[in-house]
Amino acid sequence: MSKWLGLIAVSLGVALIVVDLTIVNVILAPIIEDLAIDSVEAQWIQESYAIVFAALLLFTGRLADLHGARKIFLIGLVVFGVTSLVAAVAPSGGMLILARFIQGVGGAMILPTSLALVNATFTGKARGQAFAIWGSTIGAAAAVGPLLGGWLADFSWRWAFGINIPLVIVIMAGVLIYLDASPRTQGRVDIAGAILSAIGLGFLSFGLIEGRGHGWLVTTEPLEIGGFTWSGGLSPALVSFVVSALLLFAFWRRQAALGRKNDEPLMDVRLFSIPSFRNGNLVTVIVGLGEFGIIAVLPLWLQFTLGYSAFQAGLALVALAVGSFFASGASFNMTASALTQVRIGLLLEAVGLALLGLIAATDSAWWLIAIALFLYGIGVGFATAQVTNVVLVDVPVESAGQGSGIQSAARELGSALGIAVLTTLFFSSLASDLKGRLTEAGLPGKDAEQLSGVVTESAGSVIPSLAADPKTASAADAAREAMSLGVELSSYVCAGLLVLALVATATLRPRAAAASDEHKPSHQEPSTT
């Protein structure tokens, strides 16, 4: 029983970092007003956490192998708690951005070590059940974040960070009481590899984020990015991708060379000789592409097309959380393998998103949205958890930290790509469709382009003010229709990506660890701390 209580503590730790990825979107408006910050600082409050989080996943996974997953998990909680306190009392935008940067370090220590703890603590059927709870927590936290943010924003945005502090204390107590110290290996950290991977992944994340707002190939106007001025020419996103590719290629070559010499690489590329690990990470990237991108645009449609408040929009996403927890409970009584549950989950996710695309309109009924998100949530609960189980099942215990770090990086890469693709698709569709509708309504082409640009750049937030003016009420109606079309298109694309992931699962044939020794790299025997 104690290990299940420990699992609850670990899952709550994961929930903290996922919520902090989504909650800021809802509380950003009161932050801007309270701290009197500009749009550049507002953007970095959102981006800094995600960039550092993605950049350090491989490094923290290796630290977990060397020093024990539980120890790194606890240190990550301390970092996360302290920086949450700093963020909660931040007197300026600069201090809040700094707190968010360091908070990303804590998040990067928590996610891969949580996977390693679950993988090492549970075996057999219990492992599948444990990953079901772990995965359902991610799906639920992603949905609850906007709801929690909308509710706390009614009091103060500072509570969105302050609420983390008592939760961190409770989680630390649960982990210390109910989970044993983790095994560790003797060795060192490849510092050069850590720098290459961190900077390479950081540039990749930066490019994905900046490309959405400043273009993927070229930019014609000077840009203010993180306090620096970028002159017109090649897009900063394109430059970031090139730099990232060069650094990550150098990282891979270095890790392969160290592995051949048995010289303790940061990422043992020999793990990719395990078929379930190699192919499972490919599936993880594709799943990430199609899974959570829709959540980035759905709240905009709910608020500015259907007229929901921030709290009501968050409440609508609770159906996703309920479905995710439903899947967690159902998995306990299922005799189906982890791979079968992944396939069931991907199918249900695709069906839920296809249904959402079918019903997306300017007057969509809340109960139809709830049904679509409930089905989608059930799929998330099955697929997100069990794909991790499949990926890590054949990884040796002494490499659990590295394996978890790689799997976490694959998940974050897929999610970042998915959000970038979906937001670009959504806003491009919104701009072009709205321009066409306004032109057909008789508005001159230049005026139609300007108005569609205003709606798109505001992410739809100007629609209520347009609707309040009789002169522009028809334009507001056209904007709502264009946003609904964007959600419809985005839903279908996400559903198609999940079907592609379902097809890709044909390459997954996980085996029990004891039956796959000939495919595993050699490692030192773990010692227990």
Work out whether strand 218-219 and strand 233-234 pair parallel, antiparallel, or are unpaired: antiparallel
What does CATH list as the number for 1-188?
1.20.1250.20
Helices (H), 336-472: 338-359, 366-392, 400-440, 445-457, 463-468
| 280 φ/ψ sector (left φ>0, alpha ψ -120 to 50, else beta) | alpha
3-class secondary structure, 233: strand
One-letter amino acid identity for 274?
Answer: I
Structure-token match 């002494």, residue found: 398
Dump pLDDT digits (tens) for 106-156: 998 998 888 788 878 887 778 778 877 887 777 677 667 767 777 777 788
Q: Give the pLDDT confidence score for residue 126 in this predicted structure.
A: 83
Dump pLDDT digits (tens) for 485-503: 999 999 999 999 999 999 9
- Angstrom distance (rounded) from CA 314 to CA 430: 22
Q: Who has greater pLDDT, 393 or 97?
A: 97
- Angstrom distance (rounded) from CA 286 to CA 305: 30
Nearest to 167 by CA among 77, 72, 76, 70: 77
Q: Give the pLDDT confidence score for residue 375 in this predicted structure.
A: 93
Confidence of residue 464 (pLDDT cuts 50, 70, 90): confident
Let me know: does 456 contact 486? Beta carbons within 8 Å: no
Dump pLDDT digits (tens) for 219-254: 756 666 555 666 667 788 888 899 999 999 999 999
Let me know: does 424 contact 296? Beta carbons within 8 Å: no
Confidence of residue 525 (pLDDT cuts 50, 70, 90): very low
pLDDT at 516 over 70: no
How big is the CA angle at 225 (ends 223 and 229), to the nearest 5 degrees?
50
Query: What predicted TM-score, i.e. pTM, was given to this entire model?
Result: 0.76
Rounded mean pLDDT of 23-33? Answer: 73
Tokens, residue 152 = 């706390």
Average pLDDT over all residues of the chain:
82
Tokens, residue 125 = 């059927």
The domain 283-520 belongs to what CATH superfamily? MFS general substrate transporter like domains (1.20.1250.20)
Is the C-alpha dihedral spanning 501, 505, 507, 508 positive or negative?
A: positive
Confidence of residue 59 (pLDDT cuts 50, 70, 90): confident
- Angstrom distance (rounded) from CA 4 to CA 6: 5
Confidence of residue 174 (pLDDT cuts 50, 70, 90): very high
How big is the CA angle at 85 (ends 200 and 53), to the nearest 5 degrees?
15
Phi and psi, residue 233, nearest 5°: 140, -135
Nearest to 140 by CA among 292, 325, 351: 325
Q: Which of 48-52, 117-121, 227-231, 444-448 has the lowest mean pLDDT?
A: 227-231
- Angstrom distance (rounded) from CA 64 to CA 109: 8
